């Protein structure tokens, strides 16, 4: 049988090209795996790179089951907007009676249901905080492109002057109000675990309550606006929370600090989900990640972002001084997240969905004390 030389040549070239492409892919996968082992801090940062439909970059919510979100566009956003209230008392479990860290009450009034025999997935308890630039007792993950001089920024005074005259100084709110937590510290979660609820006793609102109670005991008046911004539609949450901030700033012009309290998510069912913790007084608490944005080229309409950074750095340093291990590396990068509203506006992640509500609320108590300490030093 005669062999067509041209066809044979084409086959040989095709074979070589395909083999080379496969070899390149194999090398790339191998190198990526090696990098993943060497750069845990980098991959922690990747967990906050989810691009939301309204142009905001936030923590990697795609690692939660897609059922967690209703991402359909809703034309008539009839979102319930209750009146905000000043330094609320928390009736459930008598948290309003907290006087010191020693008598902090555990929350035992709820249990997340599950089906018998359903699959479980592991929770990896870990501690973050040693990635990025180290300065004294804390770390900063600088993704801004700016040559950051931390010492110089810390030496500059934040543009706030907190008063104890009864007027609201701090606004606590939640762009993703439905974000919730685990019920038990058991090292695993069930397949049906659904870390979102509109019940404000069990989501991030409860953490905001604890922060405000802690500030109240320090004589600092605060507003806790519990408006739900992420249900029925998750898309557009930041636009709706911006309206909430504007409404509060108009009603309470004395507000100087606005803090958006979230909870993060790291990991998935295959690898396990990460639970970042630290201990104070023998009790577990959820680590926090402070986020401060910047706008180096002016494209985000975010002037004066430097003031937020100065406040964020002092908060990070104070947290690690009072409660070592409390913080993950401070994230500083080209994001806005409504931080353009005041000169002291931040986003703070409290734990992840596999931290318990107990741990997250305890962190809220501690965070209020950290804020008090920062305000005293300004």
What's the per-residue H, E or C state across the chain?
CCCCHHHHHHHHHHHHHHHHHHHHHHHHHHHHHHHHHHCHHHHHHHCCCEECCCCCEECCHHHCCHHHCCCCCCCCCCCCCCCCEECCCCCHHHHHHCCCHHHCCCCCCCCCCCCCCCCEEEEEEECCCCCCEEECCEEEEECCCCCCCHHHHHHCCCCCCCCCCCCCCEEEECCCCCEECECCCCCEEECCCCCECCCCCCEHHHHHHHHHHHHHHCCCCEEECCCCCCCCCCCCHHHHHHHHHHHHHHHCCCCCEEEEEEEECCEECCCEEEEEEEEECCEEEECEEEEEECCCCCCCCCCCHHHHHHHHHHHHHHHHHHCCCCECCEEEECCCCCCCCCCCEEEEEEEECCCEHHHHHHHHHHHHHHHHHHHHCC
Task: Specify the pLDDT at position 86.
Answer: 35
Residue 288, domain extent: 41-73+123-376
Tell me what the mean pLDDT of segment 208-217 comes to: 96
Whether residue 21 is contained in a domain is answered as no
**Between 292 and 61, residue with greater pLDDT:** 292
Whether residue 166 is contained in a domain is answered as yes
Overall domain count for the chain: 1
Q: pLDDT digit string (tens) for 228-262?
A: 999 999 999 999 999 999 999 999 999 999 999 99
Q: What confidence tier does 313 reach under pLDDT thresholds 50, 70, 90?
A: very high
Q: What confidence tier does 4 reach under pLDDT thresholds 50, 70, 90?
A: low
**Cα distance between residue 360 and residue 133, in whole Å:** 26
Task: Specify the pLDDT at position 275.
Answer: 97
Q: pLDDT digit string (tens) for 91-120?
A: 223 223 333 444 455 677 688 999 999 999
Tell me what the mean pLDDT of segment 299-314 comes to: 96
Task: Specify the pLDDT at position 129.
Answer: 80
Whether residue 29 is contained in a domain is answered as no
Whether residue 304 is contained in a domain is answered as yes
Whether residue 177 is contained in a domain is answered as yes
Whether residue 153 is contained in a domain is answered as yes
Whether residue 231 is contained in a domain is answered as yes
Whether residue 14 is contained in a domain is answered as no
Q: Out of 56-65, 146-155, 306-315, 326-335, pick the least confident.
A: 56-65
**Between 52 and 148, residue with greater pLDDT:** 148
* Other CB atoms within 10 Å distance of the CB of residue 151: 10
Q: pLDDT digit string (tens) for 175-209?
A: 999 999 999 999 999 999 999 999 999 999 999 99
Percent with pLDDT over 90 in the chain: 69
Task: Specify the pLDDT at position 170.
Answer: 98
**CATH number for 265:** 3.40.630.40
**Cα distance between residue 350 and residue 360, in whole Å:** 6
Q: How far, rounded to the nearest angstrom, does the alpha carbon of residue 100 sit from its chain's CA centroid?
A: 26
Task: Specify the pLDDT at position 109.
Answer: 65
For the chain, what is the mean pLDDT?
Answer: 80
């Amino acid at each position: 049988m005669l062999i067509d030389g041209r066809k044979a040549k084409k086959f040989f070239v095709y074979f070589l090209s395909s083999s080379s492409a496969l070899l390149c892919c194999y090398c790339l996968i191998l190198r990526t795996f090696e990098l993943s082992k060497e750069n845990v801090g980098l991959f922690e940062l990747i967990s906050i790179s989810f691009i939301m439909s309204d142009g905001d970059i936030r923590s990697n919510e795609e690692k939660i089951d897609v059922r967690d979100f209703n991402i359909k566009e809703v034309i008539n956003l009839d979102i319930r907007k209750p009146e905000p209230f000043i330094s609320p008392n928390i009736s459930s479990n008598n948290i309003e009676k907290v006087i010191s860290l020693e008598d902090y009450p555990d929350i035992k009034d709820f249990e997340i249901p599950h089906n018998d025999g359903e699959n479980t997935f592991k929770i990896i308890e870990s501690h973050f905080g040693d990635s990025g630039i180290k300065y004294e007792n804390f770390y900063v993950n600088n993704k801004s492109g700016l040559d950051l001089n931390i010492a110089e920024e810390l030496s500059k005074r934040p543009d706030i002057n907190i008063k104890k005259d009864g007027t609201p100084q701090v606004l606590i709110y939640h762009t993703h109000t439905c974000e919730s937590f685990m019920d038990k510290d058991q090292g695993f979660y069930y397949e049906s675990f659904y870390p979102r609820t509109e019940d404000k006793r069990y989501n991030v609102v409860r953490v905001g309550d604890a922060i405000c109670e802690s500030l109240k005991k320090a004589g600092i008046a605060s507003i806790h606006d519990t408006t739900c911004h992420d249900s029925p539609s998750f898309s557009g949450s930041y636009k709706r929370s911006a309206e909430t901030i504007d409404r509060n700033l108009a009603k309470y012009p004395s507000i100087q600090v606005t803090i958006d309290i979230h909870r993060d998510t790291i990991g998935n069912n295959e690898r396990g989900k990460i639970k970042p913790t630290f201990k104070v007084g023998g009790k577990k608490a959820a680590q926090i990640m402070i986020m401060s944005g910047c706008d180096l080229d002016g494209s985000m309409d975010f002037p004066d972002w430097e003031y937020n950074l100065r406040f964020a750095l002092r908060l990070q340093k104070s947290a690690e001084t009072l409660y070592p291990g409390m913080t993950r590396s401070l994230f500083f990068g080209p994001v806005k997240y409504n931080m353009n509203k005041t000169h002291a506006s931040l986003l703070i992640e409290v734990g992840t969905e596999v931290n318990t509500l107990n741990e997250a609320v305890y962190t809220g108590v501690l965070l209020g004390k950290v804020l008090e300490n920062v305000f005293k030093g300004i």
